[in-house]
Structure 1
Amino acid sequence: MDPTARLRMNRTALFPVALLALCVVPLAFAAPWTPVLLLVPVVVAIWVLRTGVDITAEGLTVQALVGRRTVPWTEVAGIRVAPRGELWLVTTAGTELRLPVMRARDLPRLAQLSGGRLEVPAPPVRPKPAQ
């Protein structure tokens, strides 16, 4: 299997952006300075389309609204799961980089796409309740 994937936000997130744009149009023509408000839905749409993670045989590339960072597999120390389920890439230098579109439920998929470079820990064994 080719370990190349582009993980992006679901495009259905553009629907609320379109509604936001529709709501902003009347306000945008209320005064001479208010057409600037039309930039808000444009920026949000660009954020939805751009933000994501690219996984290749060379490493991971995290893209944000502004900027991109590539981390080779040799610099990946592991994945940290935050209390709210966000995933953070931990590098060998000790820095962390948030994986913006991925949650804890995506760990098996990330491990599969990593080509065996990342492992998914087994879930904790819960003791059986006494009867």
Structure 2
Amino acid sequence: MTIVSRKPVLRVRKPGALVVAALIALFGTVPFAGARWQLAPILLIPLAILVWAWRAGTDVDAEGLRVRALAGSTFVPWSRVAELAPDPRGRISALLTDGNVLRLTGVTTSNLQAVLRAGGQEVNNPPTPD
């Protein structure tokens, strides 16, 4: 069995400040967790946030979108995407042809144009700035 690895055209991730904040929280809990061995599991909370912030995001290529989370990922080919729509906070969700909605981690109205260009998609109705 051969595993083919495709490099995405565009990788959209959470802001880097989230990774820095998780690192600060991790280092801040070390003295607290080191005081007693029963408190050591508290290190898992900022560590999980750090891994999530590093990994979570949306990868885009001509074949589709791969939405990554802490422990898994979902691939959606462009043929299954009916529409990309913003919510009131400016985050983008993919409305799929089967009626499901998939939130695109890290994709906002400000980088939607780059996502569409990276996927080779045409823009029918670009969002208007508020």
TM-score (norm 2): 0.83
Please show how residues 32-47 of structure 1 align to structure 2 within 5 Å.
Answer: 32-47=37-52
**RMSD of aligned residue pairs (Cα, Å):** 1.8
Quick check: 1:29–1:35 contact (8 Å CA) kept in 2? Answer: yes
Q: Map Cα deviations across residues 65-100 of structure 1 (whole Å, 9 max, x no partner).
A: 122110011111011110111100111001010011
Q: Aligned pair in 2 of structure 1 residues 120, 85: CA closer, same or farther (>3 Å)? A: farther
Q: Aligned pair in 2 of structure 1 residues 101, 122: CA closer, same or farther (>3 Å)? A: closer
1:80 alignment counterpart: 85
Quick check: 1:53–1:62 contact (8 Å CA) kept in 2? Answer: yes
Q: Offset of 1:30 from its aligned partner?
A: 2.8
Q: Rg larger in 1 or in 2?
A: 1
Amino acid across the alignment from 1:61: R
- Where structure 1 has 5 or more consecutive residues not aligned to the other structure, the ranges are 125-131
Q: Aligned pair in 2 of structure 1 residues 31, 79: CA closer, same or farther (>3 Å)? A: same
Amino acid across the alignment from 2:10: A
- Where structure 2 has 5 or more consecutive residues not aligned to the other structure, the ranges are 1-7
Identity %: 31
Quick check: 1:111–1:120 contact (8 Å CA) kept in 2? Answer: no
Q: Secondary structure at the match of 2:110?
A: helix
Please show how residues 64-79 of structure 1 align to structure 2 within 5 Å.
Answer: 64-79=69-84
- Runs of 4+ with >6 A deviation: none
**1:97 lines up with 2:102 in the alignment:** yes
